[in-house]
Amino acid sequence: MKLGVIGGSGQLGSTAAFLAGVKGLVSEIRLVDINENLLKSHVLDMNQALSAESNVRVAGAGYADLAGCDILLLAAALPERSVSSRNDYLKGNVEIVRGVCDSLKNYCDGKIFITATNPVDVCNYMAHSFLKWDRNKFIGFCSNDTLRLKWAISGVLNLGFDRIEALCIGEHGEGQIPLFDQVFVDGARKVLSPEQIVRVKELIGNWFADYQKLQSGRSPGWTSAVGLAAVIQALVKGSEKALPCSAILDGEFNERGLSIGVPCRLGKNGIEEIAQIKLQDQDEKKFRETAAKIRGLIRSGV
Ligand SMILES: NC(=O)c1ccc[n+]([C@@H]2O[C@H](COP(=O)([O-])OP(=O)(O)OC[C@H]3O[C@@H](n4cnc5c(N)ncnc54)[C@H](O)[C@@H]3O)[C@@H](O)[C@H]2O)c1
């Protein structure tokens, strides 16, 4: 399968492309970006590096070249700045998504479409509404929230990351919902104490503000590359295990008309199944509130 990355000169697009190349997840990677010289420098540099690592080759591309790709990753965005919420990018980034989708329509139909551009839930829904491909093709990338939840639990319990399973659903933003009844250590259900839950919530809750305070002008591209590689691998090879993705719901979780983080089984058709899980009362309440919030954001971005 071939991967096309729109916004391939950026932090997220380039790191995701590089890791997909190192891992040999796809046969070829095509990068599109308006910053052409930066794109050329990435293509030269990555091809040299990848010669030593895999058979995957990277090419600079235009929209017509994306017709030959099976999976598209949207990472085009306004430049990163210090913000209080990912929703601060909504207006500008929805316009970028609109422009990208207008260009894609001329060449592509029914591709698997991963949205990374923030705010992810809104941008994923808008991409679907602009392109009108089947909803199962649209995968909003939100698994960094689950990775950070596992990282926080691993720190609080002082256990290796690999021993922990956990799941965060909801908005990729302030409306994220860590499911503390879905924490497992070595495959066995683990009940965290109230003090441990408070500590984990502090770690994941403070993370975004602390990162923004650095004013680095770069998004967390390395974490995203790891998560996106897992998504691409699941799409190419199929996955038994559900991954958290922002999916366009049409009745699942009793919601419709939005994209929101839920557990999804991925395969060659995109989202092959949305796993239905029973939510605890307080999580269910927050899920409804968050869904209403995202629908409001979608209306404001139209
Ligand atoms: N979903 C997640 O978990 C997650 C994680 C990290 C970053 N992000 C988001 O991903 C997006 C990209 O982040 P980044 O750090 O790579 O930003 P970046 O500024 O490094 O890269 C964005 C790239 O998009 C390009 N671009 C802008 N408009 C374009 C257009 N119309 N067509 C083609 N290319 C265009 C720019 O030239 C730039 O190279 C942001 O919205 C960021 O917030 C999401």
The structural domains of the chain, with segments of one domain joined by +, span: 2-141, 143-301
Which residues lie across from 273 on neighbouring strands? Answer: 265
What is the model's pLDDT at position 41? 98
What six digits make up the tokens of 135? 């909803």
Number of the ligand 1 atom closest to the C-alpha atom of 116: 1
pLDDT tens, the chain, 302 aa long? 999 999 999 999 999 999 999 999 999 999 999 999 999 999 999 999 999 999 999 999 999 999 999 999 999 999 988 888 999 899 999 999 999 999 999 999 999 999 999 999 999 999 999 999 999 999 999 999 999 999 999 999 999 999 999 999 999 999 999 999 999 999 999 999 999 999 999 999 888 889 989 999 898 999 999 999 999 999 999 988 999 999 999 999 999 999 999 999 999 999 999 999 999 999 999 999 999 999 999 998 77
pLDDT the model gives residue 4 = 98
The dihedral built from the CA positions of residue 80, 49, 223 and 73, taken in this order, carries a sign that is: positive
Whole-structure pTM over 0.75, yes or no?
A: yes
- Taking the centre of ligand 1 as the mean of its atom positions, its distance from the CA of residue 50, in whole angstroms, is 23
Sign of the torsion angle spanned by Cα atoms 120, 121, 122, 125? positive
Q: At the fourth CATH level, which superfamily is domain 2-141?
A: NAD(P)-binding Rossmann-like Domain (3.40.50.720)
From 119, 202, 118, 201, select the one nearest 166 (Cα to Cα).
Answer: 201
Shortest-distance Cα residue to atom 35 of ligand 1: 76
- CB distance 11 to ligand 1 below 6 Å: yes
According to the model, what pLDDT value does residue 68 have? 95
Nearest to 145 by CA among 171, 125, 114: 171
Ligand 1 atom, smallest distance to 123 CA = 41
pLDDT confidence of residue 240 = 87
Which one, of 14, 2, 9, 17, lies nearest residue 229 by Cα?
17
Atom index in ligand 1 nearest the CA of residue 143 equals 3
How far is the centre of ligand 1, averaged over its atoms, from the C-alpha of 282 (Å)? 34
For residue 76, how far is its CA from the centre of ligand 1 (angstroms)? 4
- pLDDT, residue 19, reads 98
Q: Write the CATH number of the domain with boundaries 143-301.
A: 3.90.110.10
Terminal Cα-to-Cα distance of the chain (whole angstroms):
33
pLDDT at res. 80: 86
